[in-house]
Amino acid sequence: MPDNMNRTTENELAEAVLSILALRKSGEGEFSNLFKLIPKILTLTDEDMAQSDSRPAEHVWQQRVRNITSHKNADGNYINAGFLEEIDGGLKLTDAGRARAKPV
């Protein structure tokens, strides 16, 4: 459910990441690959598709996926909560994340 600005929330995007990574034995995914797959499982809004102010080469939703890493110390963040780990250029599913992941 989009937020008050009609954007997919960071947690909704993180849940999509969990679902995608759970399909992989390694549980790993590069951001570039996640960017190809997330639109196949989430309906993104026009606001999600807007150009990011801070990353002009990306859409807002892509920036928000990267925010999973940049906001890793924030309460409620999926890295901070132990569901994901930061890896070079992407994310890795933890055992807790695999247990939480919903099938796509």
Does residue 4 surpass a pLDDT of 80? no
* Domain-located, residue 5: no
Q: What is the CATH number of the domain that holds 94?
A: 1.10.10
Does residue 2 surpass a pLDDT of 80? no
Residue 29 φ/ψ, nearest 5 degrees: -155, 135
Q: How many domains does the chain have?
A: 1
At 104, the pLDDT band (50, 70, 90 cuts) reads confident
* Domain-located, residue 3: no
Q: In what order do the strands lie in the sheet with 28-30?
A: 28-30, 90-93, 84-87
The identity of residue 28, as a single letter, is E
Range of the domain at 84: 10-100
pLDDT digits (tens, 9 = 90+) for 38-83: 999 999 999 999 999 999 999 999 999 999 999 999 999 999 999 9
* Domain-located, residue 38: yes
Residue 56 φ/ψ, nearest 5 degrees: -55, -20
Burial of 71 by CB count in 10 Å (0-12 exposed, 13-18 middle, 19+ buried)? middle
